[in-house]
Amino acid sequence: MSKGLKIMLFWSLGFPVILTALRITTDYFLGRDVELFSYSAVFLGTAAAGLIFAGPLNYYISKSQEE
């Protein structure tokens, strides 16, 4: 698997899963209601941001450091 694909997969799938899991556990320990439907916006928003902004930006940064 190429390095660019690994970076894009992490920022579009890995990071949103980690962030959503952290928010769910934080809300659970604070005693708030945990409704999985409400966290779908968090997941989809960070996945879109990772796909559009963070993934390509980190890919170009890693490419510029190689040169």
Q: What is the sign of the dihedral through the CA atoms of 26, 43, 6 and 8?
A: negative
The mean pLDDT value of the chain amounts to 88
Q: pLDDT at position 24, please?
A: 93
- The rounded distance, in Å, linking the Cα atoms of 60 and 56 is 6
Burial class (CB in 10 A: 0-12, 13-18, 19+), 55: buried
**Please, are residues 42 and 19 in contact by the beta-carbon 8 Å criterion?**
yes
pLDDT higher than 80, residue 1: no
**pLDDT tens digits along 15-46:** 999 999 999 999 999 998 888 888 999 899 99
Provide the pLDDT for residue 26.
Answer: 94
Per-residue pLDDT, 62: 84
At 60, the pLDDT band (50, 70, 90 cuts) reads: confident
